[in-house]
Amino acid sequence: MLVATLPINEATIVALMDVQTGIENIARTKASHTTVSLLQQCSALELAALCVLYRSHMAIKAVDSANLLPMPQITSAKIERALGVLTDEIQERGDAAKMSLISSLRNACWADIYVALPEMNFSLMSAEDMHSNALLSDQGVWDSAREQHQAYEQKAPLYRAENLSYKINIQGLKQHDEQDILLRELERNPEESLTLQGFAGSGKTTLVARLSHLFNNFSTLYLTKNMEQISLIGPKLGKSIKAWTFEYLAHYILYYKWAGREYWGRRIELRENHAKLRPLNYHQIAKLLHLEGMNGFSAEIVAKIIDQIVNNYCFSSDIDIGPQHCPAQLDGLSSALYIELAKTYWSVIKNPDPLSDIPILGIHQIKLVDENSLVIPDNFRYIIVDESHDISGSMAGMLKRSPQAIISLGDQFQVTDGKQYLPDEAANIRERHLFQSMRVGGGVDSVFNVLLSEHKSVELPGEFQGVSARKTTMSTYTEFSPPDFCCALLSREYWYAFIAIIQLAEANRPFVVMPGTLKTLRTLIPQSLSYLHGFHEQRGHSELMGFGNWKELVQNSGQTNGLREVDAYFRKGFTAKQFKEILSRQTTVYTPDCYYIGLVSEAKSKEMSHVMLAPDVFDTHLLSIKDKRTQALNIIYTGMSRALDSILLPKKESEWLLEG
């Protein structure tokens, strides 16, 4: 399968091979016959592509020589990002950067690389393609999605105006009226930051595409938290827009823009085989920090707690690790020693020996940018932040410090973790709203407005409005059991997700579990079974902490979250082996013809025809706690707003909402 057509003239590779083998190439007779002279004649883009090709070949060769599996995954997205970074570097630093790249190619054997092209799934451009810039954007930037962009331009869907300046109002759709007003405002005053709050389904993704075309002729960066969002919206963005995750932006700042660049680059180059560092497991962390068991926890569980403290700190906007970053496992215990160990671990992560095997993961790199008060490079003029309700405190810190005009789009009612870091604290930042949802039918918008009115501290300048052309129904159930029609089964905690899986497996119905939920259940259920049978030291999940034994856990926390029903399954003789076998039955790809199981928090940015919410989504205990009520309301809102055609709610638990 072809990964990419690299912007390299095939004649360039042939000439490099000829020079290395001592054969005179007639086409190059006027030039000095050295590899350096040939490389100096290459454009910035072609030189960058040669470097990417050489490094890809070295990575595969290293894996081959060591007989390692699996082979490194080289994707078009990775190739495009690498080309973008190297080309930018040459354009900004000029001859110094160009000579540095040429020097890095001194050991390349071009004959071997040319022979390996089919194995790497690469192809080269012909001279005609290079001349006509067939796969280059209008700005001369290599664009692997060129064909996708062209197909998108030709398709001209309903929400795109023919005039890409969007000065002409699209008549008949209120959503577009709101968007057009906003776009005209941004066009008149683009240098002032803006925060846009839009209800679920109000067209924020569509608006991002339109914004990208408005700013297409400027140095604009599209930022979001995850690659999934980029893969969905990438083909719709303006051709010159760079679409990055916050993790990649942090990597770019640290490795290419920071004053410590030589050190960071050296750390990569000195690693044997250029191997990608993988996250340490808890046994490795325990060994690294010389940990021992304490407070009834094994050394590996202590390592997990310390790792979680560091991760919580990296997600926060705080400047030091403290008690607020400790997980629920430490409730009622002294956290001082755990905090000191976490500080030691964080120090080891951010100040490693160049040859260290300790990884600096994406969340660590983002926090390092935040800790060192680094800003987004000034080669970007505008920043578009999508799904801003999902960004962490350290991500928000990057945005608040940076001098660019920042346009952030989000929905404050989809903050499901109880923490909000939206970068809108400055008094001079404009705030605008989109009120009409094109996803939900007008028949249920009154229920959404009752729910939103429960947010006593939030005063909105308008109400949630469904679209009259769509019919969305709302009904209730008395017992949690998958309906006869395929739907998304969403819960607040993992226990009801487990129940749904068991019920569907027993009924021999097709199902898919969301990736994050699946990953957690694969460890949570075996640990829970071990805990039930008295093996306390093997529990590591926060769901299992805070009580002396399994029975106490079920009695005190299992009233509304499905844990009591799970306990009943376990006591019938259910085993971890049975659960593994049940998971093996799930279909590999989600389609509308199967059930979709997961947490509400994982379903954000998704929409499904039919949605069933588990009873724990309407947790009466959380709703009664002042500090937790907003989070509980947001979980209900996020779950309900995933539906297009029907919403199925627990009758008893949702009675207060439906009566209201």
Question: In DSSP terms, which residues pair with 222 in a beta bridge?
Answer: 243, 384
Q: What is the CATH number of the domain that holds 174?
A: 3.40.50.300
Least confident of 45-54, 140-149, 193-202, 470-479: 140-149
Would you say residue 384 lies in a domain?
A: yes
Same domain assignment for residues 429 and 461: no
φ, ψ dihedrals at 288, nearest 5°: -60, -40
Same domain assignment for residues 239 and 290: no
| Cα 439 from Cα 467, distance rounded (Å) | 7
Closest CA to 549 of 530, 577, 568: 530
Q: Provide the residue count of the chain.
A: 660
Please write down the long-range contacts of 525-528, taking CB distance under 8 Å and 24 or more positions apart: 525/498, 525/576, 525/579, 526/576, 526/579, 528/566, 528/570
Same domain assignment for residues 38 and 100: yes
Which tens digits make up the pLDDT trace of 402-430?
Answer: 888 899 998 989 988 766 555 444 445 77
Which tens digits make up the pLDDT trace of 243-274?
Answer: 899 998 988 888 776 654 444 444 444 444 43
Reported as a pLDDT band with limits 50, 70 and 90, residue 152 is: very low
Distances (CA, A) of 622 to 278, 317, 418, 457: 37, 25, 12, 17
Report yes or no: 532 and 550 within 8 Å, Cβ to Cβ: yes
Stretch 457-467: mean pLDDT = 81
Give the tokens for residue 580: 């593994």
Of 92, 113, 144, the residue at which a domain comes to its end is 144
- Report whether pLDDT(308) > 50: yes
Same domain assignment for residues 526 and 472: yes
> Is the pTM value of this prediction over 0.75?
no
pLDDT of residue 92: 62
Same domain assignment for residues 355 and 386: no
Distances (CA, A) of 519 to 577, 583, 612: 16, 11, 22
| Cα 198 from Cα 206, distance rounded (Å) | 12
How many domains, in total, are found in the chain?
Answer: 4
Stretch 493-517: mean pLDDT = 94
Same domain assignment for residues 521 and 614: yes
Stretch 378-382: mean pLDDT = 86
Burial 131-152 (b: 16+ CB within 10 A, else e): eebebbbeeebbbbbbeebeeb
Question: Side-chain half-sphere of 118: how many Cα atoms within 13 Å?
Answer: 1
Would you say residue 498 lies in a domain?
A: yes
Would you say residue 151 lies in a domain?
A: no
Same domain assignment for residues 499 and 391: no
Would you say residue 587 lies in a domain?
A: yes
Would you say residue 154 lies in a domain?
A: no
Would you say residue 14 lies in a domain?
A: yes
Of 144, 174, 199, the residue at which a domain comes to its end is 144
Report yes or no: 51 and 86 within 8 Å, Cβ to Cβ: yes
Same domain assignment for residues 230 and 291: no
Reported as a pLDDT band with limits 50, 70 and 90, residue 78 is: low
Same domain assignment for residues 567 and 623: yes
Please report the sign of the dihedral spanned by the C-alpha atoms of residue 199, residue 201, residue 203, residue 206. Answer: positive
Question: Could you tell me the residue range of the domain that residue 130 belongs to?
Answer: 4-144
Burial 603-629 (b: 16+ CB within 10 A, else e): bbbeebebbbbbbbbbbeebbeeeeeb
Would you say residue 439 lies in a domain?
A: no
pLDDT of residue 240: 78
Of 92, 117, 144, the residue at which a domain comes to its end is 144
pLDDT of residue 283: 85
Same domain assignment for residues 501 and 605: yes
Same domain assignment for residues 173 and 226: yes
More confident residue, 467 or 612: 612
DSSP string, 137-156: -TTS-B-TTHHHHHHHHHH-
pLDDT of residue 589: 81
pLDDT of residue 133: 47
Residues 6+ apart with CB under 8 A from 8: 46, 49, 50, 53, 124, 125
- Highest mean pLDDT among 10-24, 255-269, 317-331 belongs to 317-331
- Please calculate the CA angle 377-134-144 and round it to the nearest 5 degrees: 50
Least confident of 388-392, 458-462, 563-567: 458-462
Q: Tell me which amino acid residue 220 is.
A: T
Would you say residue 266 lies in a domain?
A: no
Report yes or no: 138 and 238 within 8 Å, Cβ to Cβ: no
How do strand 122-125 and strand 430-434 relate by DSSP bridges? unpaired
Tally Cβ neighbours within 10 Å of residue 15: 21
Question: In DSSP terms, which residues pair with 434 in a beta bridge?
Answer: 198
Same domain assignment for residues 288 and 348: yes
Average pLDDT, the chain: 79
Stretch 210-230: mean pLDDT = 83
pLDDT of residue 458: 75
| Cα 309 from Cα 534, distance rounded (Å) | 27
